[in-house]
Amino acid sequence: MSVLEQYAYSNRLRYVHPAEKIFFVLATLIFLLATSQIKIYIFVLVVVSVLLIGVAGIPVAFYLRLLLLPLSFLITSGAVIALTVTATPDLLLSISLGRFTLGVTREGLLVAAKACLKALASVACLYFLALTTPIVDGTAVLRRLRVPGLVLDLLTLTYRFSSVLLDTAIKMYISQSSRLGYSSLPRSFRSLGYLISNLFLKSYEQAKMLNITLSSRGYQGEFRVLEHPFHLSKRNLILIGLWLILLGALAWPGGGGKLVVRIGY
């Protein structure tokens, strides 16, 4: 989680307007969901991966490991989709189980591959957002989109405090284990118990303190802050437009024509 964030702050697309990145990802995701053509899935997966590695500068090994995370889950669910149980044994591969046969059909395999690739391409899109756009930039866009301030303030605080919480937990864990707190199983349980209960006490104290420190700076119920001045780039917008047209053209013979018009606007 925290490594992902490190890249979000240091990648080469960091200073691209977050709205452009969000629009790119959302439009592509909608496209993926709407189309049922396997070549589009593969195309999106390849292009997004190339963008992340080649343009944003995310290390290949790290990115592949990220993609592997959902893969194990995809393979098992893919297998379940691919498997068929029938009484008529005309399957590619099969085992017979008494009256029934368990196996895979060509269609089943295709459906499974489609589902897996669709999911993988969508995940790659989401990674694109997560790896190039820090949360704070995202909230800036949401603010432009007139999302209520209260929601954004909550988002800001939740985000900040989940890092504080994680940080505190890690510090406590290090401090405990450096004093042999996790040297045996029973001791580990006890240490973990202390850690969890203290973590909550600490967070509570910290939340109270935050209220104090905010009000000492004149907090009146709304966070008004400077945001990084991002500029929309014409070039990027044109590229995104071209990308969507390209996707549309690819999908065209498969009857995706109407969709293109809708997204093109």
Partner 1 sequence: MSYVLATEGLDYTYPNGTQALKGVSLKIPKGSKAAILGPNGAGKSTLFLHFNGILKPQRGKVIYEGKELRYDRTSLLNLRQKVGIVFQDPDTQLFSASVIQEVSFGPFNLGLPEAEVKRRVEKALALTGIEDLADKPTHFLSYGQKKRVCLAAVLAMEPEVLILDEPTAYLDPQLVRQLIDFLEELHRQGRTVILSTHDVDLAYTWADQVFILKAGKLVTSGRPEEVFADRKLVEEVGLALPWIWEVYQRLKELGWPVEAPPPRSKEELLRELPCPIYQKIGR
Is 1 among the residues that bind partner 1 (CB under 8 A)? no
DSSP state letters, 209-249: HHHHHHHTTT--S------------HHHHHHHHHHHHHHHH
At CA 215, angle to CA 213 and CA 217, rounded to 5?
75
Is 261 among the residues that bind partner 1 (CB under 8 A)? no
With residue 48 as reference, give the H or E element that holds it.
helix 38-50
Is 198 among the residues that bind partner 1 (CB under 8 A)? no
Question: Residue 164 CB, nearest distance to partner 1 (Å)?
Answer: 6
Quote the CA–CA distance of 203 and 180 in Å, as a whole number.
25
Question: Residue 15 CB, nearest distance to partner 1 (Å)?
Answer: 9
Number of chain positions touching partner 1 (CB under 8 A): 31
Burial class of residue 210, CB neighbours in 10 A (0-12, 13-18, 19+)? middle
* Phi–psi pair at 97, nearest 5 degrees: -120, 80
User: Integer distance in angstroms from the first to the last C-alpha of the chain?
Assistant: 35
Question: Residue 216 CB, nearest distance to partner 1 (Å)?
Answer: 5
Q: Which stretch binds partner 1 (CB under 8 A): 85-93, 110-118, 175-183, 215-223?
A: 215-223
Of positions 223, 237, 240, 263, contacts partner 1 by CB under 8 A? 223
What the block records as the tokens of 192 is 């973990």
Of positions 62, 206, 240, 263, contacts partner 1 by CB under 8 A? 206
Q: Which is nearer to partner 1, 93 or 147 (CB)?
A: 147
Q: Which is nearer to partner 1, 33 or 170 (CB)?
A: 170
What the block records as the tokens of 165 is 């919480």
Of positions 77, 105, 156, 203, contacts partner 1 by CB under 8 A? 156
Is 144 among the residues that bind partner 1 (CB under 8 A)? no
Burial class of residue 265, CB neighbours in 10 A (0-12, 13-18, 19+)? exposed
Site string for partner 1, 4-43 (x = CB under 8 A): -xx--x----------------------------------
- The candidate with the shortest Cα–Cα distance to 127, out of 72, 66, 65, is 66
Interface residues toward partner 1, by CB under 8 A: 5-6, 9, 134-136, 156-157, 159-160, 163-164, 167, 206, 209-210, 212-220, 223-228
